[in-house]
Amino acid sequence: MDINLHQRNAFEAETPLLALGVFEDEPLPDSAAALIEVDDFKGAWQQHIITHPRDSLPSQRLMLLGLGKQATATADNVRQFAAQAARKAHELRLASFSINLPIIANLSASLVAQALAEGAELGLYQYLAYKSELTDEQKHRVERLDVMIHDDGDVHIVQQGVALGQATANGVKLARDLANGPGNAVTPAHLGKTAQDLGTQFGFRVTVLDRDALEEQGFGGILAVGQGSAQQPRFIVMEHGSAAEDRPTICLVGKGITFDTGGISIKPAERMDDMKMDMGGAAAVFGAMHIVGALQLPLHIIGLVASAENMPSAAAYKPGDIITTLSGKTVEVLNTDAEGRIVLADALTYAQRYQPRAIVDLATLTGAIMVALGPHAIGMMGNNQELIDRLAAAGEAASERVWQLPLWDDYRDMIKSDIADLKNVGGRYGGAITAASFLSAFAGDYPWVHLDIAGTAWTDAPRRSDQIKGATGVGVRLLAQMLQTFVNNRNQS
Ligand code: BES
Ligand code: MN
Ligand code: ZN
């Protein structure tokens, strides 16, 4: 979608639809108040109303959307407001629509513009790759959004916010497309190809290790998980920039299980199809790398994806097997369905060779995190409180909220094996934490945070106007926001 800025009074816009955010308990602009029964519309959050101004305004339709109270309005309110407006434009099959950029006392114009662009783009997201015939509605494209900004607004600042928002939305869309893609198309090889394509597009150095290379280099974890499948596993490295004094090295690590049957410890049939999204962590890394490339962030960023398909077969790894991971540490496999931590073990070990300033891994790792936090928060554990706090703040800012769980040494005992260094399951309780505790053994002393997105990467009942059923692309906005904090630190020093 083209997003254009106009420094013009919104009420003078000739447009098929003008969307106007209205704060609760604040008077409506006269041009709007004249058109509606003011008592019917108080600007409560998500309240909306459409009027046809006829001759009183040049716009064909005026949509008022409640933003709630100004004092408590957030960028996320703006994001969802814009998504709602964009959806209305789509529903009405309009080629273009307009939004008046809200002015919110506590928020910078660039942040509001970013959220607005993200919301408008994501509100229009559809996944249609496998529809052989499209309905008129599905075919329809809203091609242009005109953003009206106040006379004394800074066009340049708003422009930057819009560009950031569009780049971010493109990253989220890539992540959603990958995680919505079926397991027979989105294979480890496909993820390898995705990395190569991003490399070509943005100039990343890309390495994709196939099974032979993994064997040569000792990736015992990824190989074990992938050995039961006809789809060969892959380990993927995407490198942007290079290390320098003022360019901290940051590793983003994604779990890329392209389908998780559970393996020999097989899952129940019911809802097993959802397990095509078990590469949601990898999808978030790809989405973030897309943003990194589009914005050419002045950082050294390494995207790492550990990818395999977890299948039961005559060749599959089995409960009781002991495998030697890339680190040299041995793991007793007590449940082949706890495969994510095994592939991530190799990826985290690999990350250490960059001596990174930060490692952040994302994984649809445990059902236990869904039990603990439900669909509203990403589970977070790590070994460095500064990095944890940074992610917590980024999560608030991006409205992809994370919640920290403890990672005390006490949990380590739960994953000690009698005969190997570690076992891959920790028993019935504290499942999200024992999984993280397992991972911590492979991150070394580097600042590391683990994000368990099992509860947030997928939705069957979207609660936000910038989401539809299926993959949410969660983690992309969070990572982009976190990376921005490293860029900002750099500018300050
Ligand atoms: N991919 C699953 C976790 C998952 C569950 C993600 C539901 C998204 C939705 C993971 O590989 C898994 O199977 N975890 C097991 C671990 C257990 C065997 C220790 C789980 O959580 O049940
Ligand atoms: Mn599993
Ligand atoms: Zn899994």
Q: Tell how far the Cα of 310 is from the centroid of ligand 2, in angstroms.
A: 8
Sequence-distant (6+) residues with CB within 8 A of 38 are 28
Residue-level pLDDT at 55? 85
pLDDT at site 175: 99
Q: Are 328 and 440 part of one and the same domain?
A: yes
Among the options 61, 234, 341, 390, which is catalytic?
341
- Residue 163 in any domain: the answer is no
Say yes or no: 137 and 216 in one domain: no
User: Which tokens is 413 given?
Assistant: 């005992």
DSSP annotation of 231 reads S
Nearest to 168 by CA among 475, 376, 375, 395: 475
- My answer on whether 400 and 251 are in the same domain is yes
In the chain, the number of structural domains is: 2
* Claim to verify: residue 207 and residue 92 sit in the same structural domain: no
- Based on the domain organization, do 144 and 213 belong to the same domain? no
CATH of the domain at 396: 3.40.630.10
Residue 8 among the catalytic residues: no
- Interval 105-119: pLDDT, tens: 989 999 999 999 999
For residue 145, the domain's CATH number is 3.40.220.10
pLDDT recorded at residue 127 = 98
267 in active site: yes
How far apart (Å, rounded) are the C-alpha atoms in residues 142 and 450? 38
Residues 381, 432, single domain; the answer is: yes
Mutation to probe ligand 1, out of 365, 366, 371, 424 (largest number of atoms < 8 A from CB): 366
136/196 same-domain check? no
Q: Is the CB of 452 under 6 A from ligand 1?
A: no
Please indicate, yes or no, whether residues 138 and 85 belong to a single structural domain of this protein: yes
pLDDT of 38 higher than 90:
no
Domain region containing 288: 169-492
What pLDDT, on the 0 to 100 scale, is given for residue 248? 96
**Residues sharing a CB contact under 8 Å with residue 377, sequence separation 6 or more, in sequence order:** 401, 402, 403, 455, 456
Question: Is residue 423 one of the residues assigned to a domain?
Answer: yes
Say if ligand 1 is within 6 A of residue 332 CB. Answer: no
The reported pLDDT for the residue numbered 37 is 80
* Residue 288 and residue 401 share a domain: yes
Q: What is the pLDDT of residue 205?
A: 98
* Nearest to 450, CA basis, from 387, 396, 408, 398: 387
Residue that is last in its domain, among 115, 149, 183: 149
Q: Are 189 and 140 in contact (CB under 8 A)?
A: no
Residues above pLDDT 90, as percent of the chain: 91
Q: Which residue(s) pair with 148 in the sheet?
A: 6, 100
Ligand 1 in reach of 256 Cβ (< 6 A): no
Indicate if 144 and 182 belong to the same structural domain.
no
Residue 370 lies in a domain: yes
The answer to whether residue 450 is domain-embedded is yes
User: 408 and 379 in one domain?
Assistant: yes
Of residues 77 and 152, more confidently modeled? 77
pLDDT of residue 146: 98
Q: Is the pLDDT of residue 200 over 60?
A: yes
Strand, helix or coil at 253?
A: strand
The pLDDT of residue 178 is 98
Mean per-residue pLDDT for 356-382?
98
Write out pLDDT tens, residues 265-312. 999 999 999 999 999 999 999 999 999 999 999 999 999 999 999 999
Q: What pLDDT does residue 348 have?
A: 99
Average pLDDT over residues 64-90: 96
At residue 487, the pLDDT reads 96
Mean pLDDT of 241-265: 96
Which of 193, 267, 329, 464 is catalytic? The answer is 267
The answer to whether residue 6 is domain-embedded is yes
DSSP secondary structure code for residue 102 in this structure: P
Q: Is position 191 within any domain?
A: yes
- Given a contact cutoff of 8 angstroms between Cβ atoms, the answer to whether 222 and 235 are in contact is yes
Mean pLDDT, residues 198-207: 98
Residue 162 lies in a domain: no
pLDDT at site 40? 81
DSSP conformation class of 405: -
Query: Looking at the predicted structure, is the pLDDT value of residue 245 above 90?
Result: no
pLDDT(493) > 70: no
Averaged over 59-69, what is the pLDDT?
95
Kindly give the number of the ligand 1 atom that is closest to the alpha carbon of 431: 19
Contact 340, 438 (CB under 8 A): no
pLDDT, residue 138, reads 94
Largest CA distance in the chain: 82
What b-and-e string marks burial along 302-339, b requiring 16 or more CB atoms within 10 Å of the CB?
A: bbbbbbbbbbbeeebbeeebebbbbbebbbbbbebbbb
Question: In this predicted structure, which of 151-165, 306-320, 408-422 has the lowest mean pLDDT?
Answer: 151-165
Judge whether 160 lies within some domain: no
Residues 123 and 234 in one domain: no
Residue closest to 365 by CA, chosen among 468, 288, 445, 440: 440
**Do 303 and 351 touch, CB atoms closer than 8 A?**
no
